[in-house]
Chain A
């Protein structure tokens, strides 16, 4: 069913939302089972490609760290995409779930001497529980109001985490290097690749399941979806909870890799919270591959840009990102992946 979603995105780019599904696949007719094989085949193939790239950059410390974070943020953008892309709910609170994972790992490890992997489980559970509990009040808000409400939530959590002392306050928490879960830098690229594979695998399972259809139905016609028996609240809560759990997992891994967490490094909307939707949009919102492409190209891209523009005043790289965001919202809704698909289709059409 990936094909179907992807096609809809590109074909209906001029329609409201710009990410409507529907429209039939223009590929050669294949049966239901074949579609599944094709989708999972592409999935395995792309993971092998990413593994090869990770192997190639192993030798260079700088490129390895770019690849490691790129893989992590590709996973995070894909996790956001489950609720933001499939279901069209523009969450600006994913920094909260990211922080739930990050702080669970940091606090349990430093304060209670837990194993980071056990703490990671707690972090994921906490992020999922938060999202489930927040679903009822927040999904009473529609469209932009959901975005405002989640933004407000993020800002308050930012203030609270900086306020209390047991969280390390605004100074944050440092995890001693001797207690790092994985000390080999190369092994971290593999860990993040596994994380990405898990998130994309779950996205693929969702989009090919009843839940995926319901999420898309709720995005495109919430009232019609409700009338035909899909409870929008249940559907959105489920999508939100899964998305949050995966974001919490990414947050935990992030802090295990970086070894440090403070409120602004995980909860700043303009540095972190907006990046998940930004990567998803520029890659191709609502598709499986789009957020992966977006995260893998743009996260290292932003770091390289920051490095390349180091002689220029601070903030120049963010001006470029912001301008990209504005221009893409206007002219490039289908994202990099959507544009590639359009191109290949045009190319095939000519032959």
Chain B
């Protein structure tokens, strides 16, 4: 029973990582930008949910109605104004997205005076029992992460715009020659990625207490997930999320909670070294990013 409960909590944690990583991987795979500020988008979503609940007293999940459009707009603006002019300059991209991390974190720090915010609703502490007790908000994230993965993978495969996005991610120059508006595809992709991160923030608000630095705690597992699962692969991000969640959960239970990060980091590094393109990624994908 103990084993089942550790495994269940690992899978649910994996759902959280998967949800965050799917959006990160979208930008990683399509725009080929390493967005260090993705975790900060999640953090913004969490604070926005707190604000929404304290203003309207509504169910926290309704915050997505505001968070999705606002974060989409923010993401599109960041792509247009900051990333687009730096598309061919990987070193400057790192500087720019790291600058975003500092700005967003400290704007929240300054405006909240560093106070932690948590969203307390009935759903926060609700559990369902399927042999092991599962936290309802975590189950919701896991289910939505699964649906998101299936939906996004299908959309990218079947729809016209999805095909265009895949074309852009494979060969920017040729896609442009085929009449695809590459910069528009990038702006929409970055916006969608930020909206997904914001949604993750809404879903996480009942689970974790929001602090200005919480986004940065998500970014490394999310990178680990993306690299494990494969660059640009939606299914890969989902599977990678489950792997990292399970490893963290088992390492935390059987070894020491304080060392769980060190353990999945070792795993992450091993994969990075042996197969830099990830488990499900296209080989060579990591080379394209450089230039």
Q: How far is the CA of A166 from the CA of B276 in the complex (A)?
A: 35
A156 touches B91 (CB 8 A): no
Which chain A residues lie closer than 8 Å to B256 at the CB level?
163
A321 touches B110 (CB 8 A): no
Select from chain B the residue with minimum beta-carbon distance to A144: B34
B105 touches A159 (CB 8 A): no
Q: How far is the CA of A319 from the CA of B174 in the complex (A)?
A: 39
Q: How far is the CA of A333 from the CA of B90 in the complex (A)?
A: 13
Q: Which of A159, A319, A330 contacts B86 (CB 8 A)?
A: A330
B72 interfacial by beta-carbon distance below 8 Å: no
Q: How far is the CA of A144 from the CA of B265 in the complex (A)?
A: 17
A330 touches B114 (CB 8 A): no
Q: Which of B89, B98, B113, B258 contacts A16 (CB 8 A)?
A: B89
B101 touches A270 (CB 8 A): yes
Which of A88, A140, A322 has the most B CB atoms < 10 Å from its CB?
A322
Q: Which of B82, B261, B273, B291 contacts A155 (CB 8 A)?
A: B261
Q: Which of B92, B98, B286 contacts A333 (CB 8 A)?
A: B92
Which of A140, A155, A278 has the most B CB atoms < 10 Å from its CB?
A155
A141 interfacial by beta-carbon distance below 8 Å: yes
Q: How far is the CA of A178 from the CA of B289 in the complex (A)?
A: 53
Select from chain B the residue with minimum beta-carbon distance to A325: B99
Q: Which of the segments A146-154, A184-192, A289-297 contacts the partner chain?
A: A146-154
Which chain A residues lie closer than 8 Å to B107 at the CB level?
315, 319
Q: How far is the CB of B41 from chain A (nearest CB, A)?
A: 15
Select from chain A the residue with minimum beta-carbon distance to B291: A16
Q: Mark interface residues in A276-310 (1 if CB within 8 Å of B CB, else 0).
A: 01100100000000000000000000000000000
Q: Which of A144, A149, A274, A313 contacts B109 (CB 8 A)?
A: A313
B116 interfacial by beta-carbon distance below 8 Å: no
Which parts of B71-104 form the interface with A (CB within 8 Å)?
82, 85-86, 88-96, 98-103
Which chain B residues lie closer than 8 Å to A274 at the CB level?
98, 102
B96 touches A88 (CB 8 A): no
Q: Which of B101, B111, B223 contacts A148 (CB 8 A)?
A: B223
A159 touches B95 (CB 8 A): no
Q: How far is the CB of B191 from chain A (nearest CB, A)?
A: 18
Q: How far is the CA of A142 from the CA of B231 in the complex (A)?
A: 14
Q: How far is the CB of A215 from chain B (nearest CB, A)?
A: 14
Q: How far is the CA of A163 from the CA of B263 in the complex (A)?
A: 14
B287 interfacial by beta-carbon distance below 8 Å: yes
A328 interfacial by beta-carbon distance below 8 Å: yes
Q: How far is the CA of A80 from the CA of B105 in the complex (A)?
A: 25
A318 touches B102 (CB 8 A): yes
A18-B89, A315-B105 are known contacts. Are A145 and B96 too (CB-CB below 8 A)? no
B216 touches A312 (CB 8 A): no
Which chain A residues lie closer than 8 Å to B90 at the CB level?
17, 143-144
Select from chain A the residue with minimum beta-carbon distance to B277: A145
Q: Which of A90, A144, A145, A323 contacts B99 (CB 8 A)?
A: A323
Q: How far is the CB of A156 from chain B (nearest CB, A)?
A: 5
Q: How far is the CA of A330 from the CA of B85 in the complex (A)?
A: 7
Q: How far is the CB of A171 from chain B (nearest CB, A)?
A: 15
Q: Mark interface residues in B202-243 (1 if CB within 8 Å of A CB, else 0).
A: 000000000010001000100110010000000000000000
Which chain B residues lie closer than 8 Å to A17 at the CB level?
89-91
Which chain A residues lie closer than 8 Å to B86 at the CB level?
329-330
Q: How far is the CB of B43 from chain A (nearest CB, A)?
A: 13
Select from chain B the residue with minimum beta-carbon distance to A333: B92
A313 touches B110 (CB 8 A): yes
Q: How far is the CB of A345 from chain B (nearest CB, A)?
A: 23
Q: How far is the CB of A235 from chain B (nearest CB, A)?
A: 17
Q: How far is the CB of B259 from chain A (nearest CB, A)?
A: 7
Select from chain B the residue with minimum beta-carbon distance to A273: B98
Which chain B residues lie closer than 8 Å to A319 at the CB level?
102-103, 106-107, 110
Select from chain A the residue with minimum beta-carbon distance to B28: A144
B103 touches A326 (CB 8 A): yes
Q: How far is the CA of A18 from the CA of B102 in the complex (A)?
A: 23
Which chain A residues lie closer than 8 Å to B290 at the CB level?
142-144
Q: How far is the CA of A319 from the CA of B103 in the complex (A)?
A: 4
A137 interfacial by beta-carbon distance below 8 Å: yes
Subset of 8 A-B contacts with CB under 8 Å = A17-B89, A140-B276, A151-B223, A316-B106, A322-B101, A325-B96, A325-B102, A329-B82
New A-B pairs, 19, CB < 8 Å, besides A144-B34, A313-B110? A16-B89, A17-B90, A18-B92, A141-B272, A141-B286, A143-B289, A143-B291, A144-B289, A148-B223, A149-B272, A281-B95, A314-B110, A315-B107, A315-B110, A321-B102, A322-B101, A326-B95, A326-B103, A329-B86
Q: Residues on B close to A: CB < 8 A?
A: 34, 82, 85-86, 88-96, 98-103, 105-107, 109-111, 113-114, 212, 216, 220, 223-224, 227, 256, 258-259, 261-262, 265, 268-269, 272-273, 276, 286-287, 289-291
Q: Residues on A close to B: CB < 8 A?
A: 16-19, 88, 90, 137, 140-145, 147-149, 151-153, 155-156, 159-160, 163, 269-270, 274, 277-278, 281, 312-316, 318-319, 321-326, 328-330, 333
In the A-B complex, list the 5 residue pairs whose CB atoms are closest, starting with the nearest.
A322-B102, A325-B99, A315-B106, A313-B110, A315-B109
